[in-house]
Structure 1
Amino acid sequence: MKNLFAFGFLALALTVASCGNNASKTEETADSLKGIVDSTAGALTDSINNVADSANKVIDSTAQVIDSTKNAQ
């Protein structure tokens, strides 16, 4: 859900930037869009890393349960 808001905000920023049609603000707009893209990419990377870490924890936990079940028999 958080990622959807990030993409929505990026789309809004791109739309506002494209509707400006102001040549003197092109460089400022490019800089601000670069910042938005960088922060969105960072947030997505963090989110993907968190999902991967959670998946690894589930796999490790499942492996421990299987090992303890084998040892109990």
Structure 2
Amino acid sequence: MNLLKKLSMIILLGLTTVGMMACSDNKAENAGEKVDEMMTDAGNAVEDACEDVKEGLKAEDPNC
């Protein structure tokens, strides 16, 4: 449940940021860069959560 909350917050924050930038800036390039950054951050959060779960289960390979 904690992982779901984190991912939901990241996605919501990202959509809000992109929406605000699109309204005030009108620069697609800047909005695209922010989306790329958010996707990278979300991917890192998922990978970290996966590694935490594997560590908790004492899996042989802790990498995701």
Measure the CA separation in 2 of the matches of 1:55 and 1:28.
Answer: 41
List structure 1 segments (4+ residues) > 4 angstroms apart after TM superposition: none
Considering Cα pairs closer than 8 Å and 6+ residues apart, tell me whether 1 or 2 has the greater RCO.
1
Using structure 1 for the length normalisation, give the TM-score.
0.55
Query: Unpaired segments of 5 or more residues in structure 2?
Result: 60-64
Percent identical: 14
Deviation for aligned residue 1:15: 4.6
Query: Unpaired segments of 5 or more residues in structure 1?
Result: 58-73
1:43 pairs, out of 42, 45, 55, with 45
Measure the CA separation in 1 of the matches of 2:39 and 2:28.
Answer: 16
**CA RMSD after TM alignment:** 2.5
Which of the pair has more CA radius of gyration? 1
Using structure 2 for the length normalisation, give the TM-score.
0.60
Count of aligned pairs: 57
Is 2:18–2:34's contact at 8 Å kept on the other side of the alignment? no
Structure number having the greater helix percentage: 1
Measure the CA separation in 1 of the matches of 2:58 and 2:32.
Answer: 39
Is 2:10–2:42's contact at 8 Å kept on the other side of the alignment? no
Deviation for aligned residue 1:23: 7.5
Alignment of 1:1-73 (within 5 A): 1-18=2-19, 20-21=22-23, 24-56=26-58
